[in-house]
Amino acid sequence: MLWLRALCSRFVLGCAFTDRIELNDSVENLPISQRAAAAPPYVASLNPEQRAAVEALDGPVLVLAGAGTGKTRVLTTRLAHLLSSGRAKPWGVLAVTFTNKASREMRERVEKLLGPGGGGLPWLGTFHSISARMLRTHAELVGLKNNFTILDPDDQIRLMKQIIDAEGIDEKRWPGRQLAGLIDSWKNRALTPEKVPKNEAFAFADGAGVKLYAIYQARLRILNACDFGDLLMHMIDVFQRHPDVLQTYHRKISHMMVDEYQDTNVAQYLWLRLLAQASKNLCVVGDDDQSIYGWRGAEVDNILRFEHDFPGAKVVRLERNYRSTGHILATASHLIANNRGRLGKTLFTDDEDGNRVKVRGVWDGEAEARLIADDIEQWRQGNRSYAECAVLVRAAWQMRAFEERFLMLRIPYKVIGGPRFFERAEVRDVHAYLRLIRSEDDDLAFERIVNQPKRGVGEGTVQKLHAHAGKPPVRFVTDNGPLFDEDTGEVVTEQAEAPGGATRFRTLIGAAREMTITDELPLKARTALRSFLSDLDRWREKSREISHVELAEIVLDESGYTEMLRNDKSPQAQTRLENLKELVQSMGQYDTLEAYLEHVALVLDIEAESDGENVQLSTLHAAKGLEFPLVFLPGWEEEVFPSKRSVDENGDKGLEEERRLAYVGITRARESARISFAANRQIYGRWQVVLPSRFIDELPAANVDAVSETGYGMQAPGVRDMAVEPFSSGYQSPGWRRAQERGAFKGKPPVIDGEARLVARSGDGDAHYRRGDRIFHQKFGYGQVRMVDGNKLTVDFDKAGEKRVIDSFVVPASAA
């Protein structure tokens, strides 16, 4: 033990922790009970709840952090406090987040508090990055080499397809994507093929699911690869089967912290529990009300059960909200109180009441986009920034209407979480080259690029290579002597059972090598393959001497990839070249190819360009953790939000998760939240009449303004039976027509005759008027409404270029 201490202190003195050590010294001289009192000044600036969370350093701790209660601050301060109080060493703290962004942010903020940490906090990262790091050192325990590849979802699906095909199952009826999803969900629950419950085993292809899963795992092992789920699964396996390994981590890691605990799945829970077993110093931070990832395996139960799972856990509630004004917070709280399964918190703020939450009904999606765009323009004219506005939708398709409107009005916008850099084909191609140079086992990488750029090695040739790879080895004697087995180095003579029961005796590269000296392949393909193989060998050779950045440049150049893009006249080719430049540049930040690929497999999010002056367009999911002064929440309609599928598939559980999503949405707002819903909506090109979301009924009337400025008679939340019958003389909206076809409304649409009372008028001139006890709507083109004689309204209806006056209404004084 002594030598260990000596080593540690030398290590500490040798690197950039000097100022941290000074902090340590001052506290370390105190008895443990007094250390908290002598805490550094940053702890003093916290509110009492936060401080309690920060200072509970030992034993299990559950921090229930409501939206906007300073969760990140608590987390980072706690980590800093842990270090500066001397309670834990930088290499003894395991701090887990879900996203790379979150872990990056945490690292930065801790460094800000404690000064630059140099190589400190090696165990701060995502579940996956930490697991990958661990697995690299224990790969052999699960039958992998330590240079294993981490497959991206695309490779994963490709592999699934191959397996499904090989098993003689119709890939069209049972798509690889579905199998991937199924296996993923099993892995989320830490189920190995043997452990999959019998009743679920039949979920795919009439009972082949589990078998395919087992084959898939075997194939991965052969390919020296694993997928994201495996990173955790393998480590759980190692921990369970090799207590000595687990113990080394127990010895190393004294304290653990987990962010967003409500989003952990079963596998992550097991992983955490195994690691926390010894020290019990596990602090989890989360908010059961913001658990919105059930569909990808998150178990709210993990957080609900924490006190039970970790007896003696200290629970700290953070309920003081620093983000939103009173009405917004009250609205969100009132809404979420409708959920049954929750630990319960009451958020409060000292801030002023601020604006009431606006709820507005509109005619259709277009009107909604117009309304919101106009609001944004108004905000801008009030000298506020576009970037302060966010439009948060339930599903990605809802963004289109807004994008169209924004483009038309020249409002700059940015889609949060748009297409990701690492998903781009060209980036993945380069990675495939690098992966193949690093490990010949990587058949998927080989397949991806063997004909990229085009070399004349087509699908047919690849088929033959596959077939050959599956043939039992035979002795080949060439001019250069006999061929050797890839792995053992022995001359290949014997027929052997392929490992894992899968049919592969050689890597595809191995097969290619052999087939370039036989005449089974057409000459053209053979020559092409041969030169491709010698390229690969040459690059591999070079990679020992040159940096990985140079390697990438050489590969891009010599493979003809760059040239291919240069010759490509399509507009995307230019972007692709730029992406590649960015890629090569970003590689420079990593010391080795290994380090880079590791990073790539797990993260590779090139920093998004700065937000600048853009309206933020996002799904509700992607907006979690963000905040904006002005938030629009459009599309609050039954079956859209709450999503029909969610409720259909998961019943009340699904509905509650949708409600949490609504809660997340509202609590993103600082100053103003504006909810809207339409009566008609185009969904996948089909018009549908839709009803206001039940969530609208659940809003507290006292904190909400129901505005009918553009709506058609929605007076207050709770009024659901508003008349949505649209009609007109001469013009019927597609939505109305469809509704009529479905028999949604009985009787004939009323016809305008005589006088009607105008209730409201859209900015674009759509008229909403009341006759008798019903409210009707008349849809018109933009800017074609004229007021005549004070309160008499004339509408010009522009149809096929021909303008004609079709109607006039008398406007009651109250609406004018």
Partner DNA sequence: TGTGCTTCATTTTTT
Partner DNA sequence: ATGAAGCACA
- From the number of C-beta atoms within 10 Å of its C-beta (0-12, 13-18, 19+), residue 796 rates as middle
Minimal distance, residue 657 CB to DNA, in Å? 8
The angle that helices 399-409 and 365-381 make with each other, rounded to 10 degrees, is: 50
Beta bridge partners of 704: 357
Min dist CB 595 to DNA, Å, is 15
- The reply to whether 65 sits in an annotated binding site is yes
Question: Does 747 appear as a known binding residue?
Answer: no
Check the annotation: does 654 bind a ligand.
Answer: no
Q: How far apart are CA 69 and CA 50, in angstroms?
A: 9
Nearest Cα residue to 229 out of 276, 287, 268: 268
SS (H, E, C) 154-198: HHHHHHHHHHHHHCCCCCCCCCHHHHHHHHHHHHHCCCCHHHCCH
**Ligand-binding site membership of 68 (annotated):** yes
Q: Looking at residues 429 to 458 of the shown chain, list those that interact with DNA (rule: CB under 7 A).
A: 451, 454, 456-458
Nearest to 83 by CA among 130, 122, 47: 122
795: tokens are 């509408």
Query: Which C-beta is closer to DNA: that of 483 or that of 633?
Result: 633
10 Å CB burial of residue 523 (0-12, 13-18, 19+) is exposed
Q: Which of 228, 310, 413, 677 binds DNA (CB under 7 A)?
A: 228
Residues involved in catalysis: 71-72, 259-260, 290, 668
Asked if 479 is part of the footprint of DNA (rule: CB under 7 A), the reply reads: no
Both tokens assigned to 229: 């789920």
Closest CB to DNA among 522 and 750?
522
**Is 76 one of the annotated binding-site residues?**
no
Q: How far is the CB of 648 from DNA (least distance, A)?
A: 8
- The least CB distance from residue 568 to DNA, in Å, is 12
CA-based R_g, the chain, Å: 31
148 within 8 A of 224, measured Cβ to Cβ: yes
125 is in an annotated binding site: no
Which tokens go with 145?
Answer: 């080499």
Interatomic CA distance for residues 810 and 788, integer angstroms = 10
Query: Under rule CB under 7 A, how many of the chain's residues touch DNA?
Result: 42
Q: Is 740 in the site for DNA (CB under 7 A)?
A: no
Query: What is the SS3 assignment for 107?
Result: helix
Closer of 264 and 281 to DNA (Cβ): 264
Residue whose CB is less far from DNA, 51 or 71: 71
Question: Which one, of 689, 706, 674, 673, lies nearest residue 640 by Cα?
Answer: 689
Q: How far is CA 155 from CA 228, 329, 428, in A?
A: 12, 44, 10
CB of 642 to DNA, least distance (A): 9
3-class DSSP state of 481? strand
66 assigned ligand-binding residue:
yes
Q: Is 71 annotated as a binding residue?
A: yes
Confirm or reject binding of residue 720 to DNA (CB under 7 A). no
Q: Is 98 in the site for DNA (CB under 7 A)?
A: yes
In angstroms, the first-to-last Cα distance of the chain is 85
Q: Does 101 bind DNA (CB under 7 A)?
A: yes
The secondary structure of residue 616, as a DSSP letter, is: E
> Per-residue x/- mask for DNA, residues 184 to 223, rule CB under 7 A?
----------------------------------------
Contacts of 810 (CB under 8 A, 6+ apart): 755, 756, 757, 758, 791, 792, 793
Question: Of residues 648-707, which lie at the interface with DNA (CB under 7 A)?
Answer: 649, 684-685
Residues with Cβ within 8 Å of 350's Cβ and at least 6 positions away in sequence, in order, are: 320
Part of the chain binding DNA (CB under 7 A), chosen from 211-219, 391-399, 499-507, 574-582: 391-399
Among 14, 116, 344, 460, binds DNA (CB under 7 A): 460
The stretch near DNA (CB under 7 A) out of 45-53, 214-222, 393-401, 485-493 is 393-401
Single out the residue of 645, 737, 786, 804 in contact with DNA (rule: CB under 7 A): 645
- Give the shortest CB-458-to-DNA separation in angstroms: 0
Report the residue from 24, 616, 643, 778 that binds DNA according to the rule CB under 7 A.
643
Stretch of residues binding DNA (CB under 7 A), selected from 55-63, 97-105, 198-206, 712-720: 97-105
Cβ-based nearer residue to DNA, 463 or 585: 463
Find the binder of DNA among 296, 305, 566, 803 (CB under 7 A).
Answer: 296
Answer yes or no whether residue 560 interacts with DNA by CB under 7 A.
no
Distances 309 to 61, 236, 342, 684, 739 between C-alpha atoms, Å: 11, 18, 17, 45, 52
Query: Scanning residues 616 to 635, which ones bind DNA (CB under 7 A)?
Result: 619, 621-622
Measured from the CB of residue 294, what is the shortest distance to DNA in angstroms? 8
Mask for 514-533, x = binds DNA (CB under 7 A):
-----------x--------
Annotated binding site for ATP: 65-72
Positions that interact with DNA (CB under 7 A): 98-101, 126-129, 153, 161, 172, 228-229, 295-296, 394-397, 417, 420, 451, 454, 456-461, 525, 602-603, 605, 619, 621-622, 643, 645-646, 649, 684-685
